[in-house]
Amino acid sequence: MSETVVVIGHGMVGHRFVEALRARDVDGGWRVVVLGEETDPAYDRVGLSGYVGSWERAELALAGNRYDGDDAVELRVGDAVVAIDRDRRVVRTASGAEIAYDALVMATGSRAFVPPVPGHETPGCHVYRTLDDLDAIRADAERALARDARTAPVGMVVGGGLLGLEAANALRLMGLAPHVVEINPRLMPQQVDAGGGEHLARMIGELGIEVSLSSGTESIEPGDAGVRVTLADGTVVDAALLVFAAGVRPRDELARDCGLAVAERGGILTDERCATSDPSIYAIGEVAAIDGRCYGLVAPGYATAEVVADRLLGGSAVFPGADMSTKLKLLGVDVASFGDALSATPGALDVVVSDPIGGVYAKLVLSDDASTLLGGVLVGDASAYGLLRPLVGSSLPGDPVSLISPAGDAPALGVGALGDDAQICSCNDVSKGTLCAAIADGACDVAALKGCTGAGTSCGSCVPLLSQILAEEGVEQSTALCEHFAQSRAELFETIRACDIRTFSGIVERFGTGTGCDICKPTVASILASIGSGHILDGEQASLQDSNDHFLANIQRNGTYSVVPRMPGGDVTPEQLILIGEIARDFGLYTKITGGQRIDMFGATVDQLPLIWRRLVDAGMESGHAYGKSLRTVKSCVGSDWCRYGQQDSVRMAIDLELRYRGLRSPHKIKMGVSGCARECAEARGKDVGVIATEKGWNLYVGGNGGMTPRHAQLLAGDLDDATLVAYIDRFLMYYIRTAERLQRTAAWLDGLDGGIDRLKAVVVDDVLGLADDFEADMARHVDAYECEWKGVLDDPDKLRRFVSFVNAPGVPDPTVAFGESHGRRVPVLLGSPALPQS
């Protein structure tokens, strides 16, 4: 006869316990009764912000959370346990039901901590913990937005830790202007150090989010906007609502009421077996104070669930300790910490790379002899987290600076540097050796590895490593574009090119599955544009574009746009210069000469864009496509016209190339340069296509780029006449457009091309594929079909209607856009930013 285990709480850890027990209880020795206080079965509380926008609760539901078809599990939700009778071994619920137990598992989790601020119960004050909490916040936000749609109401967040920044992001997604108040001198004080916190605060501030550090909340009272908040420094903020996200406290009240031992700082006191002072009662997750300490992350919570499942079945498992590493994207900013991130180990050495201009901060904490990795902090770029975290406690396989330096001069650290005991998935305690064994047993893709090992099924930060391990083990990887298309981008390009379907809905219905995502939609939009399917804002295509392409301008940090008219080869007339100056003056725009020999005009609001375009187009200028994954510029020197060293007319060639390839949509942006001699004043070898004059003609270089990892272009052919040069560039670009992956620059594409530059020469120069005529014909069609995208909007009333700041209030300017002056330059003033220094 089976025994009964009652589980109080159906959160992520409670659900994990049930899954672990049922998976191991092959003899059916235990019947499980799960009692949940919330009306929703277990859902992904870590991904709570993902509820904002979709407002679909089912999207956060954990797999199998209703235990359909499992007669050994009874789930009751919406009925909280109110008392435990330890003598009778019975729990009583709010509905009056009594359930007897042989073993009891407390998985009650935590509650949000609300500081005892005067007025903390004022209407409009919320916590950020459950789906119901988010619904309540949403209701207040929508009421505030309905009162005045022209401004972004302030949403206060008390707490600048993980939860507080998640809450701030949610408020921003709801249309509010977040203001984060943190009592500590830095954000995320438990995860990042002072340097990382400084970078994080700066980057979040640049997003228009106000941050008040070393500041408490003095009082809260009702206000005209919703709540009036007074900070410790006397600052008064009128906000639509306030969210307390200042930490959590273990929900141990049931344990206290029934006489179980609790820890000094809260939580149900347990030993390493997760057993409480009553041998028939266990505690798991955030409520468990193991040897007096509570752990607030999902990974140690899952570990406790596994321990208790093992113990109920006669095992000897003990709590293995907690990996408190975290990796997440907060407000679009990557943040990660692992191991001894705060340098608490005596004698520890810090290796720091700080790049405030590039927005990257990285710190490695090493042992006193600099040989062993103890921990680290990554802000802005956390791509190294997956490989560095498993190396904690191990010797580093190279110079520590090279591992975190953005220069990237050293060989990249790969999974081959990790031993079999390296923990790849900290949430589910999966080692590299376990993954390799699963691959040997037939797990041949990421989905299979997830299914048989559990790796990557929680926070997901280790998923890229799963792919790398598969490749290291010799398993061929899928080249699928995304979950909706099994084809690679190159395969999808050829498929679309060969068929007559020119809508995303038709393409995904015939060749894919589902409704699409933010990967495949813009990719298909780019493919359709590359093969000449009309204006990018025609019909359904408009909804596929990202924000830049959607408005044919580059969005800037304060929500305004920059306008860049085309200046082929940097060539410009005095009349055009005067016009640009007049436009900048009339619309109050900041002007700057770009590195691509053009003039960028910054600060235009969306409703001003067509007015600016009209004046440019009427004067014979057109879109410079600075916003698109397409040809940006063709830079040139003055060539043989003016320079005494010039060997060919580089200006004329640059103009011809830019006019030929303007508007050509591609997997990534394309830049070109034409130099009139080997002195290379146009820096052509740093471009995707570089042309350098010789005495006999032109040398053609391809595959260069600047950026974080600069690359010199490689010589494809030399001493070419004009016609041959253009033909080879046609072939190169069309070959790249057809075969490159999504968002892959020509440098990376050429690196990945089997055979490299020799293979490219064979295709472009020797035409080994027999596609030269096809490539050139495709380019000729592009040249013949080109039309200025700005003019296409100006000539179409339906497209013009998109260009308003507020759809429900056309003609109303955006009141959140403001400008100031710094050192003589016009600059944006972000919402809530401090006063700018004046020149």
State residue 237 phi and psi, 5-degree precision. -120, 125
Query: What whole-number distance in Å separates Cα of residue 356 and Cα of residue 373?
Result: 24
| Count of C-beta atoms within a 10 Å radius of residue 234 | 7
State residue 603 phi and psi, 5-degree precision. 105, 10
Query: What whole-number distance in Å separates Cα of residue 222 and Cα of residue 229?
Result: 9
Q: Is 125 annotated as a binding residue?
A: no
Amino acid at 417: A
Query: What whole-number distance in Å separates Cα of residue 589 and Cα of residue 561?
Result: 10
Q: What is the largest CA-CA distance in the chain?
A: 101
State residue 353 phi and psi, 5-degree precision. -120, 120
Query: What whole-number distance in Å separates Cα of residue 439 and Cα of residue 465?
Result: 14
Query: What whole-number distance in Å separates Cα of residue 158 and Cα of residue 619?
Result: 53
Q: Is 427 annotated as a binding residue?
A: no
- Tokens describing residue 349: 């050495």
Nearest-CA neighbor of 695 among 713, 727, 721, 725?
721
**Taking the chain, what is the end-to-end CA distance rounded to the nearest angstrom?**
84
Amino acid at 258: C
Query: What whole-number distance in Å separates Cα of residue 772 and Cα of residue 774?
Result: 5
- Range list of β-strands (E), 419-521: 423-425, 430-431
Nearest-CA neighbor of 97 among 170, 202, 8, 212?
8
| Count of C-beta atoms within a 10 Å radius of residue 482 | 17
Q: Is 643 annotated as a binding residue?
A: yes
Distance of CA 152 to CAs 89, 225, 312, 832, Å?
54, 11, 54, 11
Nearest-CA neighbor of 141 among 163, 178, 171?
171
Query: What whole-number distance in Å separates Cα of residue 92 and Cα of residue 70?
Result: 24
Query: What whole-number distance in Å separates Cα of residue 174 and Cα of residue 382?
Result: 27
Amino acid at 135: D
Binding residues for [4Fe-4S] cluster are 637, 643, 677, 681
Binding residues are 637, 643, 677, 681
Binding residues for siroheme are 681
